[in-house]
Amino acid sequence: MTKVWYRLTAIVLATGALSAHGIAAEVNVYTTREPGLFAPLAADFTARTGIKVNTVFVKDGLAERVAAEGAGSPADLLMTVDIGNLVELVDKGVTRPVTSPALAAAVPAHLRAADGAWYALSLRARLVWADKSLGLTSVSYDDLADPKWKGKVCIRSGQHPYNVALVAAMIAHVGEAKTEEWLTGLKANLAKKPGGGDRDVARDILGGLCQIGVGNSYYVGLMRSGKGGAEQKTWGEEVAVVLPTFTGGGTHVNASGAALAKHAPNAAEAEKLLEYLLSPEGQKIYAEQNFEYPVRADAAVDPIIAALGKLTPDTLPLAEIAKHRKAASLLVDKVGFDR
């Protein structure tokens, strides 16, 4: 019983100590990136620098939390998995720019804010998965609305951020009216109501519920690597994966990224962490852990992902796509995509 009380006291004291910031060599990360994926990066960073990384995984409401905490916030580095959320942080005024020649050199210009307000850390592509027997080798996002796929397409909810970003990119390319037509066509092609997750698309294709579907690149890695078990390895290997492109553009990518918190008490450590995440070592862990595309041109892609084919990312700046997010979400409702 006393042990329990020691534990409780320790927890309470530890929390108190954390909120009273100013302890040397620490960095506090608020992240929407799932803890399992960030933990290896944090551990490696601590091993290299001796700087302790404290994290909290916040799914939704990251911007609201940092804004509510105000000047007393312990947050140093804010990380998101979606470019829309990242830009939202900047728009809400809870970040401050970092200008560093090392960072600018590591990240291509279209994957960071011009003033250093945010940096992309890793990329994932929105791909088409298909029944192997179709022999599909190339496809464009426009093709998804082709009536020849009537009743054959699977996809998760149109309001999921992955799909909202894809629709936003389409708006950026062809405008809202054309996107609405496309989305209506895609909706008409669906084999069933949108639902489930990305991996369910692979399962549904194998189960004969549909013939093609849309899923993210890293799920292919997760499944084919066998990290999710032998069963999922089969799902991953039994579907064909094609890298689609926009007509006259490249493949749609979304980015995870980071920004420095406006009131960061440990700004220097946060910058070090940001530099580490964009270093060849950090980028390597990104690629290995979650099968994402690194943003550094000189960092290697995981072999499973590399085997999918050469990625030609869409050249539209991510910030431009993020601007159309709201319109995309409204459009998804308007065409009744999830009905």
Partner 1 sequence: MTAVLPDRAERVAAAPAAEHRGPGGFAWIGLCAALIAGAPIGALGILALQGNAAHWLHLATAVVPYALHETAVLLGGVTVFVVVVGTGTAWLVTAYAFPGRRMLEVALLLPLAFPAYVMAYAWIDLMHPIGPLQSGLRALLGIERPAELRLPDLRSLPGAVLVFGLALYPYVYVAARAAFLARMTTLTEAARTLGAGPGRVFGRVALPLAWPAIAAGTSLVLMETLNDVGAAEFLGVTTLTTTVYSTWVNRSDLAGAAQIALAMLAIVLALVLAERTARGARSFAVGGGAQRALPPRRVDGIAGLGLLALGALVVALGFGLPTGHLAWQAALRLAEGHGGATLLPAIGNTLLVAVLATVAAVLTGLVLVEGRRLHPGSRLHAAVLRVATSGYAVPGTVLAVGLLVVLGGFDRAARAVVEFAGGAPTGLLVSASIGAVVLAYVVRFVRLAATQVETGLERIPPTLDQSARSLGRTPAGVMSAIHLPLLRASLAGAALLVFVDCMKELPATLLLRPLNFDTLATLLYGEAARGTYEDGAIAALLIVAIGLVPVAVLVRLGRPPATLEARP
Residues 148-177 that bind partner 1 (CB under 8 A): 157, 159-161, 164
**Closest distance to partner 1 from the beta carbon of 26 (Å):** 10
Instruction: Please say which residue, 107 or 154, places its beta carbon nearer to partner 1.
Output: 154
Beta-bridge partners for 53:
27
Give the C-alpha separation, 293 to 123, whole Å.
Answer: 5
Q: Quick check: 30 and 261 in contact, CB under 8 A?
A: yes
Instruction: Please say which residue, 58 or 308, places its beta carbon nearer to partner 1.
Output: 58
Binders of partner 1 among residues 219 to 238 (CB under 8 A) are: 219, 222, 228-229, 235
Retrieve residue 58's tokens. Answer: 């916040």
**Closest distance to partner 1 from the beta carbon of 195 (Å):** 3
Give the C-alpha separation, 250 to 225, whole Å.
Answer: 26
Binders of partner 1 among residues 307 to 326 (CB under 8 A) are: 325-326
Retrieve residue 96's tokens. Answer: 């401050």
> Residues 108-147: x/- map of binding to partner 1 (CB under 8 A)?
----------------------------------------
Instruction: Please say which residue, 162 or 182, places its beta carbon nearer to partner 1.
Output: 162
Kind plus residue range of the DSSP H or E element containing 104: helix 101-106
Q: Residue 53 burial (CB < 10 Å; 0-12/13-18/19+)?
A: buried
Determine the size of the site formed for partner 1 (CB under 8 A).
73
Binders of partner 1 among residues 260 to 289 (CB under 8 A) are: 265
Q: Of 44, 176, 237, 338, which one interacts with partner 1 (CB under 8 A)?
A: 338
Q: Of 12, 25, 105, 307, which one interacts with partner 1 (CB under 8 A)?
A: 12
Q: Quick check: 259 and 83 in contact, CB under 8 A?
A: no
Binders of partner 1 among residues 43 to 62 (CB under 8 A) are: 54-61
Instruction: Please say which residue, 107 or 123, places its beta carbon nearer to partner 1.
Output: 123
Paired sense of beta strands 212-216 and 253-261, if any: unpaired
Distances, alpha carbon 64 to alpha carbons 29, 38, 59, 85, in Å? 15, 22, 11, 11
Is 162 labeled as ligand-binding? no
Tell me the three state secondary structure of residue 109: helix
Is 218 labeled as ligand-binding? yes
Q: What residues are designated binding site for Fe cation?
A: 218-219
